[in-house]
Structures are given as C-alpha cells and as structure tokens.
C-alpha cells in the first residue's frame, strides 16, 4: 500500500513537472518603460492569469531608445505593444506586422506648450522647437505637421524637431517650446515639476482630428500561419484582457503591482496610481480592434500632405481571428 501511494505521489509530481515544462513561452516587448500604461500585462503575470493559460510570459520593458518593431522583426519578441502609425509605417517598409488585439480604444496623446512662447493655435508652431520621442513615436506628430504644411527643416517657416527622452526637462528648461505628452504620464510630470495648467497650452490630438490608435498588440504575419502560435496568442490575449479588467477594477492594487516590477526604482506610488486612473479612461470594453477607428487612423495618415506616414492603404494589417477566439 505504501509503495502504491509512493508511486501515485511520484506520478503526480512527474505530471506537475511535465505540465510546468510544457508551458508555452511568450516574450512581450513593451513600447515604453515599466509603468501603469502596461498594468494589464503585469497584473496578468502577478495574478497567475498567464499561468492559467499554460503560458510562461516574459515582459521586456522598452524606452526612448528601444524600437519594438525591430525587436519583433529580429526575433527578440513574439508580440509587441505599439502604436498603429508605427506599425503601419513598418508594414509599408516591409516588416509584415499585424494587429491581433486593441486593448486601448482612445488616444492619450497631447502636445504641451509653454504659454509664454505665444503659441495659441497649432499654426503657431511655425519657427518653434517641438520635442518628440522617436522609434515610431514621432509619426503622429509628423503627420500633423504635414497637414499643417509645416516642414521639419528647422527654418523660420517650419519647425525644429528635438528628440526627447524619458523626462520632460526640455520643456522645463525651455530647450523646447512644446513636447509630446501623454494624458496619463508626461503632462503630470510637468505639473509635478511646478508648472500650473495656466502656464501651459495643451493641444489634444483627438480634438485636433489627428488622433490615431495606440498600444495595440502586434505579431509578425507569417507566425500567424502556424496554428500552434495562433493558439498561443489566443491564450495570451485572453489572459491579458483578464489582467486589464482586474486592473480597472482594482486600480490602486494594479499600480502597486507595476511598482513591484519596476527594476529601475524610478516610478512613484503617487504617479502610478494617478496614471492607472487615467489609463482606465482609454481602455475599450473588449480587445477587438474597432474597424471604424482603424480606418480613421489610416485616413488620417494618408492625408498627411506632402510627407505622409504611409503612401497607400494597407492590406492585411489586422485580424479579428485571435480576439474572436479569445473573447
């Protein structure tokens, strides 16, 4: 009897070990550094939602000098978080990325200017210095400037583009007249640094009619042809959206989970809790890409004047196959 019980226990242990070994690896490349912008993924990892889907997920932070598309194309990631303009530009240039899910339904992108510069409307950007992030983040701004017929040549009739990094120092130190800023992040960094809303002029990309979809999930098209990979992505999206739902319902706890995963120690509890509250306003009810919002993004990019982000309407740039099965 004792030998039988030992055999059963050994078999159970072996089965558990085999199940652990059988977990499918997924590497997620983030668009930016560890922060509440990506809370849903960290929550899914922390709460065991990925484990429930038999997934072993590694989350790789990004940054101002990281290009998610390059990581994906180079095999360093299975799936990436990116903005649609960047993804469509990459696809037109020969990197066949496909949107498989769109957790963010609304844009949080603004242009924040110091009021003392005299800027009152977008046309006043002429002759000014505008700060933006690069590696795909610059495309919404470039598209907007093209629609305004403002060249990026540093001339008095155009604008000077300044590459900015993780902080808002260029605006604070008056190195740039305006900087791109997210409603949930950089705007509040400016406020926390001592400037008041009365010191600023803020242009919403949404209000200006140049907003585009942000923070979608993308994979390489050829990988979707593999049924095993597609199934893995179905499970990944399902667990991720469970994480996002949990984060919306438990925003303060989600912010603390993000902080636990911040290896840099640069984030603060106050900022992450506030960010999570703002992020919740941008999330959609499902992960399924809204085709009308997608088309609006495409139309906006195609109407970019003499220097558009994309030159022709893309084909096959998104699929509902993953979200239809996941949700």
**Spans of the chain below 50 pLDDT:** 5, 9, 11, 14-20
Helix 39-46 and helix 251-260, axial crossing angle in degrees, nearest 10: 80
DSSP 8-state code for residue 104: B
Start-to-end CA span in the chain (Å): 47
SS3 sequence of 81-111: EECHHHHHHHHHCCCCEEEEECCECCCCEEE
Cα(19)–Cα(188) distance, integer angstroms: 45
Fold match flag (2-105+213-326 vs 109-204): yes
CA dihedral (93, 95, 96, 102) positive or negative: negative
Query: Between 3.40.190.10, 3.30.160.100, 3.30.910.20, 3.40.50.300, what CATH number should domain 2-105+213-326 receive?
Result: 3.40.190.10
Residue 318's DSSP bridge partners are 99
**Which fold is adopted by the domain 109-204?**
D-Maltodextrin-Binding Protein; domain 2 (3.40.190)
DSSP 8-state code for residue 197: G
170-190 residue pLDDT tens: 999 999 999 999 999 999 999
Residue 254's DSSP bridge partners are none
- Render 10-36 in DSSP notation, one character per residue: HHHHHHHHHHHHTPEEEEEE-SSSSSG
Residue 80's DSSP bridge partners are 29, 218
Domain boundaries, the chain: 2-105+213-326, 109-204
User: Are β-strands 97-101 and 79-82 bridged in parallel, bridged antiparallel, or unpaired?
Assistant: unpaired
pLDDT of residue 5: 47
pLDDT of residue 17: 47
Query: Closest Cα to residue 171, out of 192, 154, 147, 152?
Result: 192
pLDDT of residue 18: 44
pLDDT of residue 184: 95
In terms of residues, how long is the chain?
327
pLDDT of residue 324: 97
For residue 202, the surrounding DSSP H or E stretch is: strand 200-204
Q: Which residues, at least 6 apart from 256, have a Cβ–Cβ distance to it below 8 Å? A: 269, 272
pLDDT of residue 295: 94
């Amino acid at each position: 009897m004792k030998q039988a019980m030992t055999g059963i226990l050994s078999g159970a242990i072996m089965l558990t070990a085999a199940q652990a070994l059988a977990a499918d690896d997924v590497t997620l490349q983030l668009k930016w550094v560890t922060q509440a912008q990506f809370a849903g993924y960290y929550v899914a990892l922390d709460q065991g939602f990925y484990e429930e889907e038999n997934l072993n997920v590694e989350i790789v932070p990004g940054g101002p000098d990281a290009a998610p598309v390059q990581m994906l194309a180079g095999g360093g990631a299975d799936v990436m978080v990116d903005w649609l303009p960047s993804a469509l530009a990459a696809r037109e240039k020969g990197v066949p990325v496909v949107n498989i899910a769109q957790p963010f339904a609304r844009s949080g992108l603004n242009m924040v200017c110091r009021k003392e510069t005299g800027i009152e409307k977008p046309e006043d950007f002429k002759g000014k210095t505008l700060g933006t992030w690069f590696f795909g983040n610059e495309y919404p701004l470039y598209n907007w400037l093209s629609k305004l017929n403002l060249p990026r040549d540093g001339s008095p009739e155009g604008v000077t583009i300044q590459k900015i990094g993780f902080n808002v120092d260029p605006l604070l130190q008056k190195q740039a007249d305006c900087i791109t800023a997210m409603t949930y992040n950089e705007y509040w960094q400016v406020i926390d640094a001592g400037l008041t809303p009365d010191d600023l002029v803020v242009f919403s990309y949404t209000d200006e009619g140049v907003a585009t979809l942000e923070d979608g999930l993308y994979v390489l098209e050829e990988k979707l042809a593999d049924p095993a990979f597609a199934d893995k992505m179905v499970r990944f999206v399902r667990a991720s959206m469970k994480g996002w739902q949990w984060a919306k319902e438990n925003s303060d706890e989600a912010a603390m989970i993000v902080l636990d995963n911040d290896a840099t120690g640069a984030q603060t509890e106050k900022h992450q809790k506030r960010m999570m509250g703002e992020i919740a306003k941008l999330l959609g009810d499902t992960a399924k890409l809204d085709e009308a919002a997608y088309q609006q993004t495409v139309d906006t990019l195609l109407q970019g004047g003499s220097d558009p982000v994309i030159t022709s309407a893309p084909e096959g740039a998104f699929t509902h196959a993953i979200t239809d099965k996941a949700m």
